[in-house]
Structures are given as C-alpha cells and as structure tokens.
C-alpha cells in the first residue's frame, strides 16, 4: 500500500499498525511530496530526512517485534521552527537565532508525538519571532498558500498552514500567541487547535509573549487534531505555566458524541464588525448546521484586543531588548520597528492591560455559564495577496496586517480553547472559531467533528499545486 | 519639523540604551502611535482599585 496525500493521520496509523503499509513507506511518501511541492510552497526550512528514516525504521522494527507502537505509528509530522529539534539551531524565523548552538534535546511536544509513533520530517517556516499574521519572512521568503500560491498563508505559523494545507504532511505543530494557529488554519483551509492556556507544554520552544503563548496542532480532519492533541497532553515541570491539576483528559473517545445537547451561540458585537462577506457566510453556514440562532454580545472585546496588543508589544520588546541593542540590523525591519516602539510604552499602561484581562475573563466566565460554545470568524477575510498592504472594506481602506487578527486576539487573551474549522468556500476557504470554556477542548473538538461529518467543515484539496 | 513623539522617543531611547537610527524613526513613531492609541483605549476603562493583574492567565 502506498501513502497518498489524501490519507489522514488516522488512515496512515491504521495502515502502518495493520502492516498494510510500512512507516518507512509513509515517511518516504511525505519526503517525496515535500521535494515535489515545497519549492513552490516554501513551507519547510529544514527537512530532517535521515532522522525521519531512522525513526520510521524503528517503528517498523517495533511492529515486527509485536510491540505497541502508539496511535500515531508512522505518521509524518513537522513543526514550526521555534520548536527545539535536536541538532538544529532554533531559528524562530529569525536570522539572529541561526547563530545559536544546535538544540540538544527536542521540544516536549515532539518527544510526545514521537513516543506515540509519529515521525518528525522537518521544521517549518514562520514569521520572524512569531510577531506576524502574514506568513511572510524576509530571511526565508514567504510560505505560500496551497490554494493560490500568490496569496498569504497567514501567520505566524505560515509553514505549518502551508505544509498541512498542501497535504505534504497530515499533522503540523505551531504556536498561537494572538492567532498564529487560527489564522493560517483559516487561510489554508485546515483544522487548527489552540488549547486552553497552560494545557500543552511549551518546554523547549522559543517564546514570544509568555503570558499569551500556546502550542497546538494543525490537521486535515478533526479526528487527526484530537489524535495529536491527546498524545501531547500531560504535565511538564519544564514549563512553569503547564497545568499540574488537570491530568490527562482524552478527547478522542468523546469525539462522536452528539452535539444536540450543547448550547451554541454566535459571538456578537466586535465579532460581527469589520468582516468581509465570506466571513459572514462561513459563520452563517456553521451556525445554521448547528441550529445556533442566539447571538451573545462579548463585552469589551475590542478593548480586549487592544490590551492583548499592548501586552504583546511590550513583553515582546522586553524579550528581545538585548538583541535590539546589539543586532538591530539583523531583524526584519518591520519586526524591529514594532518591538522598539513596544519598549517605549509606559509601564502603567501594561499593568492596566493585565488588570483589564482579569475583568474581561470574569465576563466570559459569566457567558459560559449559559453557553457551551461561541462561534466567531477566525479571520475577517480569505487569504490576501502576498505583500498586500491594505484591503477595502465597505469603502474604507484598512491595513491588512493590523486587522487579520482582530477576531482571534480577544479569545487567546484569556486563554480559551478554540478549534478553527475550515469552511470550503469558493474560490478560497476561510475558518470559523469554535470557542469553548476553559479546559473544554473536548467540546470544541466534538463540534468540529460534527461539522465535518455534516460536510460543512472540510479541508479542501490543495488547488494551487 | 519634529513630530510630537520625537522628543519622547529620543528620551526613552537614551534611558533604555536602545538606539533608534534616523531611518527607522518614522516607522517606530507610527508603531508607537498605534500602541499608545490602543493603550489609551485600555487606560480609559475604569477598574476597581482592588483589581488584580493577570500576568499569567490560569483559565
């Protein structure tokens, strides 16, 4: 049996565990697709072919010996290049970090994926230091949208969106500080999970804004998302924010449970403003399929977005202050100038943003007393053209970069779990956020799975290749 | 002609020992204007004195 691009991770793992396909064949097929298409997509910055082959052979040997190989046996995956990969400097999309010593040990999430039988095939392009919503990178070139290679992938996990959207690998990992999993999921037409803040370990990944940073998976189906998410759960002393109280809460066994008992509402106010008709249509299709008619206003969401912006720019500036002093000319100039400005924001304003965060969290906690799921656009538009500076909305010219994340930022600001589901509109897909209460990833994944089964959410075959 | 924020940028640049080359100044100023506008939006929101910050968010 030969691995085909349309095979999900669940398909591959089943075929490998059932000895209908070897892990090595699945790995070689992914490496061949990368070789064939990545010249255009530019999603990979490192292909770890020899490591991947060695791991695949080890999985095959374990199967031959009758050992348990885990639920992701032989599944190729790749990671945003801010994850430590043993033997590579963790560049985090930058030029500066290429001078770092190679990482000695893989990131925790890579270790957990490989412990479940998955096979790492490489590291993926990203916006510099994750301060990006476009997927463009001045050092490595832009990752390209698999449905139209003249368009953005979205960022900052652009390579993750492109690699999964282009079906080079069935699963990728990325990070999301303000929307960097949900935005590329939307533009590239794939499923993405940003878990609850503190759910998945960030150990041995390069940080951006520690009080907002999350890691999570991308996939072409809700089942694959749940598969990857479940094997990555668990406490980790190497990440100070990683939960020590929740334990393992597998979602896969709950995925096919009915959603008819869930109280699902549409997020109103800010989430219905500044959106293109495509985003309205996508939310409408999802709401209709789920029978959701109630609209719930999320109070002060625009202010929450502003507070997230302030915390991001100042914490980011603090992280990079020394590099800005010593190697300013080695930054992407656009990132450098944002970070320098961030260093100049007065401290009381940052403190007030953090205090507002607690107030806003309490408002959402109140909403989740009477609602299980909120629906909102993942992006206000489908993928813009590479290099596009402005878009025209209702006759008003708005900057693209500043507006891509306006609907994701107020959600990650308070760490809520979200699955971005792809709605396959023509000519380009767009995502909808399925937002649940803290620690209820199971509910968001269940709704994503139901939408997929109804045919409302689907990862379209890459049309730009 | 000097822009309103230029003196502030010069002062903070000096205080933080963070050089700002002349060629970068317009973009730094534009970004700072956006950051301060959004910060003011947060600042305007009245919160009780007892409000605790949430530097690490635990859901």
**Considering A180, A201, A205, A412, which one is annotated as catalytic?**
A180
In A, minimum Cα distance to B29 occurs at A341
Q: What is the pTM of this model?
A: 0.97
pLDDT tens digits along A113-156: 999 999 999 999 999 999 999 999 999 999 999 999 999 999 99
Is the dihedral angle over the CA atoms A124, A130, A132, A138 positive or is it negative?
Answer: negative
Is position A180 annotated as part of the catalytic site? Answer: yes
> In this predicted structure, what is the pLDDT of residue B56?
67
- The answer to whether residue B31 neighbours chain A at the CB level (below 8 Å) is yes
Which residues, in sequence order, are CB contacts of A186 under 8 Å at separation 6+?
Answer: A154, A378, A379, A382, A420, A422, A429, A430, A431
What phi and psi, each to the nearest 5 degrees, are found at residue A338?
-65, -45
User: In chain A, which residues have pLDDT < 70?
Assistant: none
Q: Are A436 and A209 in contact (CB under 8 A)?
A: no
Mean pLDDT, chain A, integer: 97
Q: Which of B4, B21, B40, B54 to mutate to test the interface with A (most CBs of A within 10 A)?
A: B54
CA–CA separation, A91 and A84 (whole Å): 9
pLDDT at residue number A204: 98
Q: What is the DSSP string of A352-387?
A: HHHHHHHHHHHHHHHHTTT-SEEEEESSSSSPPBTT
- For the cut 70, the answer to whether the pLDDT of residue B2 exceeds it is no
Residue the block writes with tokens 């402005």: A390
How confident is the model at residue B57, as a pLDDT?
A: 66
- pLDDT score, position A5: 81
Residues of A in contact with B56 (CB under 8 A): 210-211, 240-241
Per-residue pLDDT at B1? 52
What chain B residue is nearest to A338 in terms of C-alpha separation?
B31
ipTM, 2 decimals? 0.95
pLDDT at A178: 98
Which pLDDT score is estimated for A392? 84
pLDDT category of residue B58 using cuts at 50, 70 and 90 = low
Residues of chain B neighbouring A336 (CB-CB closer than 8 A): 24
Measured between CB atoms, which of B24, B35, B53 is closest to A351?
B53
Residue B55 — very low, low, confident or very high, per pLDDT cuts 50/70/90? low
Query: Does residue A80 carry a catalytic annotation?
Result: yes
Q: Which of A295, A301, A286 lies closest to A429 in space, CA to CA?
A: A286
pLDDT tens track for A256-309: 999 999 999 999 999 998 899 999 999 999 999 999 999 999 999 999 999 999
pLDDT of B59 over the 70 cut? no
Report the residue of chain A nearest B18, measured CA to CA. A325
């Amino acid at each position: 049996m030969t691995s085909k691009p349309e095979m999900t991770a669940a398909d591959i793992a089943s075929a490998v565990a059932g000895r209908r396909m070897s892990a090595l064949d699945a790995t070689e097929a992914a490496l061949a697709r990368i070789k064939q298409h990545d010249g255009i997509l530019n999603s990979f910055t490192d292909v770890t072919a020899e490591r991947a082959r060695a791991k695949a052979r080890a999985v095959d040997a374990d199967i031959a010996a009758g050992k348990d190989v885990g639920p992701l046996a032989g599944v190729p995956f790749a990671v945003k290049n801010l994850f430590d990969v043993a033997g590579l400097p963790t560049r985090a999309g930058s030029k500066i970090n290429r001078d770092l010593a190679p990482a000695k040990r893989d990131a925790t999430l890579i270790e957990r994926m490989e412990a479940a039988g998955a096979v790492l095939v490489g590291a993926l392009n990203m916006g510099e230091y994750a301060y990006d919503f476009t997927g463009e990178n001045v050092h490595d070139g832009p990752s390209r949208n698999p449905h139209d290679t003249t368009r953005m992938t979205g960022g900052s996990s652009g390579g993750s969106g492109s690699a999964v959207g282009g079906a080079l690998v069935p699963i990728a990992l990325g990070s999301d500080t303000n929307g960097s999993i949900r935005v590329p999921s939307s533009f590239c037409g794939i499923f993405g999970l940003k878990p609850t803040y503190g759910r998945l370990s960030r150990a041995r990944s390069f940080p951006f804004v520690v009080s907002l940073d999350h890691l999570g998976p991308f996939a072409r189906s809700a089942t694959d998302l749940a598969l990857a998410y479940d094997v990555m759960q668990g406490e980790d002393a190497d990440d100070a924010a990683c939960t020590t109280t929740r334990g393992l809460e597998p979602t896969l066994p709950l995925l096919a449970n009915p959603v008819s008992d869930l109280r699902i509402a549409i997020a109103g106010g800010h989430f219905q403003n500044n959106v293109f008709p495509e985003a309205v249509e996508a939310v409408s299709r999802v709401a209709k399929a789920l029978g959701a008619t109630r609209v719930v206003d999320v109070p002060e969401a625009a202010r929450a977005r502003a507070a997230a912006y302030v915390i991001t720019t100042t914490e980011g500036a603090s992280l990079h202050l020394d590099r800005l002093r010593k190697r300013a000319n080695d930054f992407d100039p656009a990132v450098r100038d944002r970070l320098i400005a961030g260093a100049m924001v007065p401290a009381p304003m940052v403190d007030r943003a953090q205090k507002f965060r607690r107030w806003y969290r309490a408002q959402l906690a109140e909403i989740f007393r009477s609602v299980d799921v909120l629906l909102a656009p993942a992006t206000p538009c489908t993928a813009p053209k590479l290099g596009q500076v402005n878009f025209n909305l209702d006759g008003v010219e708005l900057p693209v970069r500043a507006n891509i994340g306006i609907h994701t930022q107020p959600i990650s600001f308070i760490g809520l779990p979200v699955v971005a589901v792809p709605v396959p509109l023509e000519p380009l897909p767009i995502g909808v956020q399925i937002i649940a209460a803290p620690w209820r990833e199971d509910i968001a994944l269940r709704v994503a799975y139901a939408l997929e089964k109804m045919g409302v959410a689907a990862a379209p075959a890459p049309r730009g290749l | 002609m000097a822009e309103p924020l230029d003196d502030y940028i010069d002062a903070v640049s000096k205080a933080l020992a963070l050089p700002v080359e002349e060629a970068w100044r317009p973009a730094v100023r534009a970004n700072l204007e956006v950051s301060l506008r959004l910060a003011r939006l947060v600042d305007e929101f009245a919160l009780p004195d007892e409000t605790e910050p949430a530097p690490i968010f635990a859901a």
